[in-house]
Amino acid sequence: MPLLIQNAGFESLMLNNDKLMVVLAVVLIIWIGIVVFIFLTDRKVERLESSVQNLIRNDKTSD
């Protein structure tokens, strides 16, 4: 039971000082950064795959 009381105190402390909102904002920014990174990496991989396929096609046609 003391653990529940401590959590309630911690939660009220975070809410009173707006620290909870800061933590949530930081976590949201991190997740947005991860999503953007994955999206950009996927686009780069797609471009690389298409250029490799073009190179393979050009090699086959030149033979």
User: Which residue's entry shows tokens 């994955």?
Assistant: 38
8-56 confidence digits (pLDDT tens)? 777 777 777 788 888 899 999 999 999 999 999 999 999 999 999 999 9
Residue 1's pLDDT band, with cuts at 50, 70 and 90, is very low
Does residue 4 have a pLDDT over 80? no
pTM as predicted: 0.66
pLDDT score of 3: 54
- The domains of the chain are located at 2-62
